[in-house]
Amino acid sequence: MSLKLRVLIDYDEGDHFFNDSSNDYPFTNRSNLKELCNFYKLNLLKIELFSDGELDWNGIFFYKKVKGKVYIFSGGRFGFGGFFPKKDEHPVSSYLNLIEIELNKIEIGSCSLSLSFLSDHSKESDEVWQTSSVSYLIANTNESVDDNGLCFRKAKIRSNLSRNLKKAKEKGFICKEVMDNESLKLWHANCHLPRINELNGKSWDIELLSKFIDNGTASLVCVFDHEENILGGCYIIKSKLVLEFFMMSTKRENQILGVNSVLIEFLYLMAKRENMSLINWQASNPPQGPLVRFKKEWNAKDYSFNIYNKNFNDNLDKKFIETYFKDCYIFPFSQL
């Protein structure tokens, strides 16, 4: 019996895009998506995949029209939404030919579609479109925290983790969750920008961070000394099931004091207290090295997911993406 697969792409953005599960993950949350669209001048579309008339996969994506062509993508530096399984009867890869038929009905420039890290990627095929893979590092809250506090091995034995945590507690550092603009500005100026300079990285716009706090589900957790100076902090985004470590920024000189250790413990206890199942450390670049090892010391494990990419525009290049799609991943640079 032949498969009866169907693809529906809906560009008519509205309330019907969202449902009761929209608040389960940080970047399916309506308020977060709206803030991203407003800041980056993007629109939303919905792609539904049906098998025998029943919804198999549901996905919300971004799109932007530039020079007459439409560019569709899952996310960017701000994380990935992508396809979330409903029945998960057939892999997303089996729908890609049908998706391409629908995309060819419009002036399509490129398309980059990710799958949720919670999907079963073992069933997916990399023989269609151009496939890239990303790995998130994620800790399971209940495997990391119990009623007595941190419960994973590195926290229970003598280790760098437990020693740094003890060192910070002896200094009397205090962690607080804050949502005021003054604290955000102080952290951004005194912790985030200096740390980005140490790493030779790319900073986040404080305007976006502020809007996420005002209208989304974000907040900031800071570590304070006895004089109420901010020594470091982590900008987080909450959802029903996931605590997202959006950006942790602490200068190296304060990391040595154990600031990040007491900060992370506070965040893990927060996830447990607020019944969030997963703690998302996000991806690391490079995918191997000291930072990855640090995250794994905190009981984070690899969750890989596929991104299916298709370029319909022969003139698509890195300069075009950097000019029109700040912070957005519309197509992997490595494949241009």
Residue with the two structure tokens 């950006």 = 247
Predicted local distance difference test score (pLDDT) of residue 41: 96
Predicted local distance difference test score (pLDDT) of residue 235: 98
Please work out, in degrees rounded to the nearest 5, the angle formed at the alpha carbon of residue 230 by the alpha carbons of 225 and 231: 75
What is the spatial distance between Cα 80 and Cα 295, in angstroms, rounded to a whole number? 20
pLDDT in tens, 53-95: 999 999 999 999 999 999 999 999 988 879 999 998 999 999 9
What is the spatial distance between Cα 124 and Cα 13, in angstroms, rounded to a whole number? 29
- Residue 324 pLDDT greater than 80, yes or no: yes
- Residue 105 pLDDT greater than 90, yes or no: yes
- Residue 336 pLDDT greater than 90, yes or no: no
DSSP string, 2-30: ---EEEEEE---SGGG--GGGGSSTTT-H
What is the spatial distance between Cα 184 and Cα 167, in angstroms, rounded to a whole number? 26
Mean local confidence (pLDDT), 265-280: 98
Predicted local distance difference test score (pLDDT) of residue 1: 38
Q: Under 8 Å CB-to-CB from 113, ≥6 apart: which residues?
A: 47, 59, 61, 72, 73, 74, 82, 83, 92, 99, 307, 308, 309
| Domains of the chain as residue ranges with CATH | 5-134+305-335 (3.40.630), 153-298 (3.40.630.30)
Predicted local distance difference test score (pLDDT) of residue 17: 83
- Residue 107 pLDDT greater than 60, yes or no: yes
CA distances from 161 to 117, 265, 292 (A): 27, 10, 14
- Residue 126 pLDDT greater than 90, yes or no: no
- Residue 102 pLDDT greater than 60, yes or no: yes
Predicted local distance difference test score (pLDDT) of residue 3: 67
What is the spatial distance between Cα 100 and Cα 51, in angstroms, rounded to a whole number? 17
Query: H-helix or E-strand containing 85?
Result: strand 82-85
Mean local confidence (pLDDT), 238-243: 95
